[in-house]
Amino acid sequence: MIGNLNKKEIIAWLKEDDARRLKRLWEAADTVRREQVGDAVHLRGIIEISNYCRRYCHYCGINAANKQLQRYLMPGDEILEAVGQIENFGYGTVVLQAGEDPRIGADWMAGIIQSIKKETSLAVTLSLGERSKADLKLWKKAGADRYLLKFETSNPALFDKIHPPVNHGWKNRFEILAYLQELGYETGSGVMIGIPGQTYADLAEDLLTFKKLNLDMIGCGPFLAHPDTLLGNAFKERMHDTDQVPNTEMTTYKVMALTRILCPNSNIPTTTALATLNSKNGREQGLKRGANVIMPNVTPVRYRQYYEIYPNRICLREFGQDSDQIIKARIINAERTIAVGKGAALSYIQRNRNNKGRTDK
Ligand code: 5AD
């Protein structure tokens, strides 16, 4: 079954509701995960460094049209303090995430990256939106290891409908992802599941696109309606459309399992959006259905309420040492181990090895 599913088969799995057959899907994904990337679960500490955003994405609560929201940009020393906490927790990676914020100057960011690389042994992942070629290049040179940029949907008409453009010279996110790979970033992407207007065929195409792009990290979470956004109420109207992908926990598991089968060597997180839908054991279930990464939120608590991309984020209830302990306990509960080290994706390690023309030794 590994790597070998066509669009028709993927659509059939996405629509499957027979519990016995689904159990076979979970088991297949779990087996591939165990054989390819092993039992260790990588922890990545996310710091949401700014909630300013110049974009008007129709699903996102921190989009520029939301004038109610209090905005912040973390000062450098607070970012480095949070980085220190990530080290104390023993995680291998820091993820610096923000809205698409022009206040984040390229040189300022490069300085932060350099400090982190100088003072810690952490891998640095950036998730800062659609930035210029010059910025992406500068940050790679400064020491950034990875970049996350979700393409959200492979259907260009649906993408354009929910993402008012800015004039920045890029054709689309695929062009940016290709450039990130060319620069040598470990490259991550993903989609939202159940965007109003997203069909099963669209979602199947998303999954095939993950494979085609050779992504190292693939994060997929359910679309969660935010009442202050244009898409916030659109879902109710679509619920009875039989071709509309439901934004449910079950569909999310199916996507994670199919992603693992199609992209056996990629790193796959069990997302915060999934844990928000099922705070009881969503993370564990994700780990049993293909995932090998968890990304705990380490943003200073006073900022968290303002990074409201969707309502009731689980990280509003989980923080500090407690959350670290709880998340580690969940990993052990799921009969897995806690990884040490940076946790580069196997796909990335293998590609670099091949590029260097080296054999195994
Ligand atoms: N529901 C689910 N995910 C969302 N994101 C933004 N808004 C929402 C929402 N309403 C996700 C998108 C985006 C990332 C920052 O968070 O995938 O890329």
Strands 217-218 and 192-193: unpaired
- pLDDT of 361 > 70? The answer is no
Q: How many Å lie between the centroid of ligand 1 and the Cα of residue 152?
A: 8
Q: How far is the CA of 273 from the centre of ligand 1 (A)?
A: 8
Ligand 1 centroid to 98 CA: how many Å? 12
Inform me whether the pLDDT recorded for 360 exceeds 50.
no
State how far the Cα of 130 lies from the Cα of 149, in Å rounded to an integer. Answer: 8
- Using the atom order of ligand 1, give the atom closest to the CA of residue 192: 17
Q: What is the per-residue pLDDT for 235?
A: 62
310, 312, 314, 315: residue to mutate for ligand 1 pocket, most atoms within 8 A of CB = 310
The whole-chain average pLDDT of the chain stands at 94
What's the pLDDT band for 322 if we cut at 50, 70, 90?
A: confident
Pocket of ligand 1 (CB under 6 A): 59-60, 150, 152, 192, 221, 223-224, 226, 273, 309-310
Q: What is the pLDDT of residue 269?
A: 98
- What is the pLDDT at residue 3? 64
Mean pLDDT in residue range 221-239: 83
| 112 pLDDT higher than 90 | yes
Give the per-residue pLDDT at 358: 46
Q: Convert the pLDDT of each residue in 133-183 to its tens digit.
A: 999 999 999 999 999 999 999 999 999 999 999 988 999 999 999 999 999
Distances (CA, A) of 69 to 10, 81, 104, 225, 308: 40, 25, 19, 17, 9
Taking residues 78-88, report their average pLDDT: 97
Most ligand 1 atoms within 8 A of CB, residue of 46, 52, 58, 59 to mutate: 59
pLDDT recorded at residue 99: 98
| Amino acid 236: pLDDT | 63
**Is the Cβ–Cβ distance between 248 and 194 less than 8 Å?**
yes
Summarised one tens digit per residue, pLDDT across range 270-316 is 999 999 999 999 999 999 999 999 999 999 999 999 999 998 888 88
Gap from CA of 75 to ligand 1 centroid (Å) = 24
Nearest CA to ligand 1 atom 12: 192
Rounded to the nearest whole angstrom, what is the distance from the C-alpha of residue 131 to the centroid of ligand 1? 18
What is the average per-residue pLDDT within 245-255? Answer: 97
pLDDT score recorded for residue 163: 97
Q: Which of 269, 320, 217, 329 is nearest to 42 (CA)?
A: 269
Q: Which atom of ligand 1 is nearest to the CA of 232?
A: 10
Report the residue among 47, 66, 192, 313 best suited for mutation to probe ligand 1: largest number of ligand atoms under 8 A from its CB.
Answer: 192
Query: Which pLDDT score, from 0 to 100, does residue 134 have?
Result: 98
In ligand 1, the atom with minimum distance to the C-alpha of 229 is: 10
Q: What is the pLDDT of residue 146?
A: 98
Indicate the top mutation candidate among 309, 310, 312, 314 to test ligand 1's pocket, ranked by most ligand atoms within 8 A of CB: 309
Between the CA of 20 and the centroid of ligand 1 the distance, in Å, is: 32
Residue nearest to atom 17 of ligand 1 (CA): 192
Q: How far is the CA of 1 from the centre of ligand 1 (A)?
A: 30
Which token pair is 352?
């670099």
The more confidently predicted of residues 358 and 242 is 242
Which element (helix H / strand E) includes 356? Answer: none
List beta partners, residue 43: 294
Q: What pLDDT score does 315 carry? A: 81
Q: Which helix (H) or strand (E) holds 293?
A: strand 293-294
Q: What is the pLDDT of residue 351?
A: 86
Taking Cα atoms as reference points, which of 175, 171, 203, 172 lies closest to residue 190? 203
Reference 28, options 47, 53, 2, 10; nearest CA is 2
- Which DSSP symbol is given to 271? P
For residue 310, give the ligand 1 atom closest to its CA. Answer: 10
Nearest Cα residue to atom 7 of ligand 1: 60
pLDDT for 212 beyond 50: yes
